[in-house]
Amino acid sequence: MDSKRLIEESQKYLFKTYNRFPVVFVKGRGVKVWDSEGKEYIDFLGGVAVNVLGHCHPKVVVAIQKQAQRLIHVSNFYHIEQQVKLAKLLVKNSFADKVFFCNSGTEANEAAIKLARKYSKLYFGNDRYEIISAFNSFHGRTFGSLTATGQEKIQKGFEPLLPGFKYVPFNDIKALKSAVNSKTCAIFLEPIQGEGGVQVPEDDYLVKVRELCDENKLLLILDEVQTGMGRTGKLFAYEHYNIKPDIMTLAKGLGGGVPIGAILASEEVASAFEPGNHASTFGGNPLVCASAIATLDVILEDGYLLNYCQRVGAYFYQQLLKLKEKHPFIVKDVRGKGLILGIELTKDGMPYVQACLEKGFLINCTAGNVLRFTPPLIIKEDEIDKLIEELKKLMRENL
Ligand SMILES: *Cc1c(COP(=O)(O)O)cnc(C)c1O
């Protein structure tokens, strides 16, 4: 089907939940994708922080092919080899003792909310159920996660939301302290706010949050759906801060492109869920777990990719800083860690996204005026240079 017709039918048959660009991608390899007209693009979006190893990494492709031939789905009524292997890998490389698999970020966060409430009821009684999250956060679109998401524009129209949530400004330990009371059961944060415009907290913020949680016996839930799986140059962002969460949620990069989410917790917290308390039909099926194992194997191989992500991320950051020096009236701020980077503009970011697309670069804009870059962790310096050159050109034209 030619792309013009496909776009027409897309508009005819699909819900209008996305403002899509008029492009149809048909192939991807590494950091490159090609559209139906044969035009090549460098992907600085990575399917929104999903394609950590780039498109169609050979090890991931082979793992999916092999597993698809053997067994795609059974049921969580039975033990699943790939699920156990993946859980073991995650446990060995994190703070956690136990893993539950689901299919997306929002589902992982729903599970985290349920688990925190259950745990708190078990140990502290029925009146301790409030969860504090941050303004400007993003935790997903189902009701629990939507309620935890401290953004009116995302919640509007769907009220009433779930009871028992409170919001504080991110990176403000005082506000957090004064929000805690006898009803609080958990603090729920992204280590770096992704959709909120790549907001990086002070180095000691999460350390202080951890202390606050310990003093008040609160659970610290970290949403690492976007920051996890090597994105920040460590396997998980919490590792930068020498702290451990009690519950962590993952999705996006976890499966190397296939839909999978997970919730990780310590033994004590995980054991609050008993048989029958939580479930997912597809959660952790053999196919997605095989893909996730292959992805994690490559990320962890000799620590090479994580170190590379730190180095190339630092290079990218420096180039963005130079861009800011050159165009201080357009670039207001440069933020991020590893390969989750953003530049805050003094103006709407959408024209830049549009112009970059035309020039063969996929980027996106969050929070209205923040250009966000979450490329595959294998992005190279010369590819970064090409994007920076293009951004320079566009800024010179004062787009
Ligand atoms: C994307 C995202 C989610 C939601 O994930 P879905 O898979 O789209 O449900 C939740 N939290 C964070 C931090 C995210 O970036």
For the chain, what percent of residues have pLDDT higher than 70? Answer: 100
| Centre of ligand 1 from the C-alpha of residue 205, in Å | 22
pLDDT tens figures, 74-103? 999 999 999 999 999 999 999 999 999 999
Ligand 1 atom closest to Cα of residue 223: 13
Average pLDDT, stretch 15-23? Answer: 96
Strands across the sheet containing 165-168: 98-102, 261-265, 247-250, 219-223, 184-189, 130-134, 165-168
pTM of the predicted structure, to 2 decimals: 0.98
Which tokens is 183 given?
């009803």
Domain end position, chosen among 302, 321, 347: 302
Is the CB of 224 within 6 Å of ligand 1? no
- 340 — pLDDT class (breaks 50, 70, 90): very high
Domain holding 266: CATH number?
3.40.640.10
Beta carbons within 8 Å of 369's beta carbon, 6+ residues apart: 197, 344, 345, 346, 347, 348, 349
Is the CB of 226 within 6 Å of ligand 1? yes
State the total domains in the chain.
2
Query: Do 67 and 49 reside in the same domain of the chain?
Result: no
Query: Do 146 and 43 reside in the same domain of the chain?
Result: no
| Centre of ligand 1 from the C-alpha of residue 389, in Å | 31
| Centre of ligand 1 from the C-alpha of residue 105, in Å | 4
Query: Do 341 and 259 reside in the same domain of the chain?
Result: no
| Per-residue model confidence (pLDDT) at position 395 | 97
Catalytic-role residue among 35, 43, 223, 246:
223
Is the CB of 137 within 6 Å of ligand 1? no
Q: How far is CA 113 from the centre of its chain?
A: 17
| Per-residue model confidence (pLDDT) at position 394 | 97
Helices 286-300 and 304-326, packing angle to 10 deg: 80
Query: Do 31 and 172 reside in the same domain of the chain?
Result: no
Is the CB of 195 within 6 Å of ligand 1? yes
> Which residue segment(s) compose the domain that 232 sits in?
59-302
| Per-residue model confidence (pLDDT) at position 1 | 75
Residue 303 has pLDDT above 90, yes or no: no
252 as an active site residue: the answer is yes
Is the CB of 255 within 6 Å of ligand 1? no
Residue 103 buriedness (CB in 10 A; 0-12 / 13-18 / 19+): buried
